[in-house]
Amino acid sequence: MDQKINKFDLDIETVRSSTMFKESNSTSKHVWSSGPKIVGSSPGFPTELLQEHKIKIDSGELLTNDDMNAVLKRMSLSRNRDDFSVLFSHFAPRLKSMLLGSGTIAETAEEIAQEAMLSVWRKCEMYDSKKASASTWIFTIARNLRIDRYRKEKRPELDPNDPSLVPVQEIPADEQVDLRDREIIVKDALENLPEDQRIVVKLSFEKGLSHQEISDELGLPLGTVKSRLRLSFEKLRVNLRSRI
């Protein structure tokens, strides 16, 4: 992935002064009027990192994926609307293009993208920056909404608090592969798939297509699509599990 794709050209002052938010009630306790606040006392999140991102945002510097993770984390702690506008500007246009790919019309794609971002705001307390990047977390929210709104199906999800679940053994912090390295590993794993397998994987994730839809789109027998997906799953699993 080109480094530029990770970044976006955002004039933060423009975002701030724009009418991105329709403030329904300026006396609402959740309205922040004096710029981003730094929550220094939050356990488990380094204050310096937050400070660093604040400076970058204030200076209008390009933001990386790391910055996005930190902005989402900070929003979950402080409910800062400026952070939301940063996330919206970055993710909503990308969500829209993914949703357009899955066959939705522009209006629906925009609606789902808007709704996904609203969910990001409402559920951000559930975001765990140790487990997933902002992109991954937002991808899962948008994926579920697309199934619900576009396909009109329910998404049966595993409840992470299911008492029957065997708790996963926590990996000690010093043995965890950090999110930036994980991104590189994931990108490599995808790029290292043979072309015919990479295409079916990308169609699955970019457009959320079923096996039959991939078969129709590529003009391949259903069995070929399935076996390519099986092979790519095996390669990805082995590759990712050995490195992450």
Which parts of 135-174 interact with another protein (CB under 8 A)?
A: 135-140, 142-144, 146-147, 151-159, 162-166, 168
Binding to another protein (CB under 8 A): which residues in 60-99? 65, 79, 81, 84-85, 88, 91-98
Q: Does 34 bind another protein (CB under 8 A)?
A: no
Of the ranges 34-42, 43-51, 54-62, 221-229, which one interacts with another protein (CB under 8 A)? Answer: 221-229
Query: Smallest distance, Å, CB 53 to another protein?
Result: 18
Gap between the Cα atoms of 184 and 83, Å rounded: 25
Q: Using CB under 8 A, count the residues that bind another protein.
A: 100
DSSP 8-state class, residue 29:
T
Residues 41-60 that bind another protein (CB under 8 A): none
Distance between CA atoms of residues 162 and 155, nearest Å: 16
Is 215 one of the binding residues for another protein (CB under 8 A)? Answer: no
Those residues whose C-beta lies under 8 Å from the C-beta of residue 205, and which sit 6 or more positions away, are: none
90 contact partners, CB below 8 Å, separation of at least 6: 8, 10, 63, 68
Instruction: Tell me the H-state helices in 24-166.
Output: 47-59, 65-78, 81-101, 106-123, 134-149
Instruction: Work out whether 25 is an interface residue with another protein (CB under 8 A).
Output: yes
Q: CA 50, CA 37: separation in Å to the nearest integer? A: 10
| Using rule CB under 8 A, residue 18 touches another protein | yes
Closer Cβ to another protein, 51 or 210, answer by number = 210
Tokens representing 161 are 């608090």
Q: How far is the CB of 52 from another protein (least distance, A)?
A: 21
